[in-house]
Amino acid sequence: MMVKKYNSYSVNGYTFHTRGYAEGKATQCDAVALVAKTSSFSSSKDNNPFIGDVAYYGRIVEIIELNYSNTGHVVLFKCDWVDSVHQGRGVRKNKFGTTQVNFNNLLNSGNDVFDEPFILATQATQVYYVQDLFDTDWYAVLDATPRDYFDMGARIDDNEDENDSYNPTEPQPLPIENLSNDIPIDHDEDENWIRNDIDGTTVDLLR
């Protein structure tokens, strides 16, 4: 198995950057969100957990591709995840109903054997964080709009090495239409294709 690391990766209509690579750039592309089915308990004495959707918010630390001897590959995002498990600790709703996150309270460090910092790149949704001006430890979560539906590949900056970016698909050729003169073209009968304001000129076609 071969392992590669990248600074940039395009998937699901988004271009993601690692946190280190995103520093100093005008756009914020390291913020990520994931909605997962999670077991929850109503209290410490509850023995009957229920399964529900829980939103996780984080920042991408590493982008890793695992290549299994060219028989298949998978791309993973290693992330710092805020604590979404303990209510109000890493994620909360403000009085306006906006979701806010606090990166001082992480779900795990990613260094323990039981930590789960990785997700599949295909599971990721891009968001961005706006700092609260009054409570600066908290950031509002805003959804990012995919730049396009079709994956046209990651944009490479002038100072970026091509090996720093990963594009999962090769560009496909555009279909070529049949422009043969044998195909009739139907025009609207109301359309006027002849100019009447100038004299016409006869041109001999070269064979």
Look at residue 173 in the predicted model and tell me its pLDDT. Answer: 42
C-alpha distance from residue 120 to each of 77, 100, 190 (Å): 6, 24, 56
User: Do the beta carbons of residue 103 and residue 93 sit within 8 Å?
Assistant: no
pLDDT of 65 higher than 80: yes
Look at residue 164 in the predicted model and tell me its pLDDT. Answer: 58
Residue predicted with more confidence, 62 or 85:
62
DSSP 101-161: E-TTSBS--S-STT---EEEGGG-EEEEEEE-SSSTT-EEEEEPPPS-SS---PPPPTTS-
Instruction: With respect to residue 201, please indicate whether it lies within any of the assigned structural domains.
Output: no
CB contact set of 126 (below 8 Å; sequence gap of 6+): 12, 14, 16, 29, 31, 32, 33, 144, 146
Residues in the chain: 207
Q: Give the chain's radius of gyration (CA, Å).
A: 26
Q: Tally Cβ neighbours within 10 Å of residue 48.
A: 6
Region 92-109: what's the mean pLDDT? 92
24-60 per-position pLDDT tens digit:
888 889 999 999 876 665 555 666 666 778 899 999 9
Percentage of the chain exceeding pLDDT 90: 43
Q: How far apart are CA 25 and CA 18, in angstroms?
A: 12
Percentage of the chain exceeding pLDDT 70: 64
The confidence band for 3, taking pLDDT boundaries of 50, 70 and 90, is very high
Instruction: With respect to residue 172, please indicate whether it lies within any of the assigned structural domains.
Output: no
Tokens of 9: 């990766």
Instruction: With respect to residue 132, please indicate whether it lies within any of the assigned structural domains.
Output: yes
Instruction: With respect to residue 158, please indicate whether it lies within any of the assigned structural domains.
Output: yes
Mean pLDDT of the chain: 77
Q: How far apart are CA 200 and CA 11, in angstroms?
A: 55
Report the number of distinct structural domains present in the chain: 1
Instruction: With respect to residue 51, please indicate whether it lies within any of the assigned structural domains.
Output: yes
Its pTM stands at 0.65
Beta bridge partners of 139: 101, 131
Residue predicted with more confidence, 79 or 154:
79
Q: Which domain holds residue 154?
A: 2-166
